[in-house]
Amino acid sequence: MTTSPDPAFAGRTYPAGPVHTVSAAKIVEFARATGAPSPLHTDPEAARAAGHADVVAPPTFLVSLAQATEAQYIEDPAAGIDFSRVVHGEETFTLHRPVVAGDRLVPALTVESVRAAGGHAMVATRVDLSDEDGAAVAEVRSMLVVRGD
């Protein structure tokens, strides 16, 4: 396997992934692990009092679903990526609405760009998350650095 991602993958969109049901237990676990203090993340009654159907995920909660979706690209043999050389560069989150327990999200991955930089490759990805009706819920953008030889 090469350690240089194929630039031809820029602009490629992978088929939408399977539906992912957001779990209240996972939201609570994530909120506690990251020190998110709002009771909206851990107390269903507080979340309902604020107008939500259930506990609300912190914005960064979507990182694990985004990374699992990015695996389609990283594990694609034709992409030319040696995962042992991948370093996570940055991540941004755009929420179109709060993510709450019980949401059923459909992730879709796009490789936005692949470029060389100082002997390394910089890969920008975007995971679009929608509900089952196709309404946009969130976007997670990542910059992956694939270290050169």
Q: What mean pLDDT is predicted for residues 18-37?
A: 97
Percent of the chain topping pLDDT 70: 98
Q: What mean pLDDT is predicted for residues 54-74?
A: 95
Q: What mean pLDDT is predicted for residues 28-44?
A: 97
3-state secondary structure of 67: helix
> What is the per-residue pLDDT for 30?
97
- Angstrom CA distances, 147 to 20, 58, 86, 119, stand at 31, 31, 6, 7
- The residue among 103 and 1 whose pLDDT is bigger is 103
Domain ranges for the chain: 7-22+57-146
CATH superfamily of 7-22+57-146: Hotdog Thioesterase (3.10.129.10)
> What is the per-residue pLDDT for 149?
81
Mean pLDDT of the chain: 94
Asked if residue 22 lies in contact with residue 101, where contact means CB atoms within 8 angstroms, the answer is: yes
34 pLDDT above the threshold of 50: yes
What six digits make up the tokens of 50?
A: 């604020």
Binning pLDDT at 50, 70 and 90, where does residue 3 land? Answer: low
Residue type, 124: A
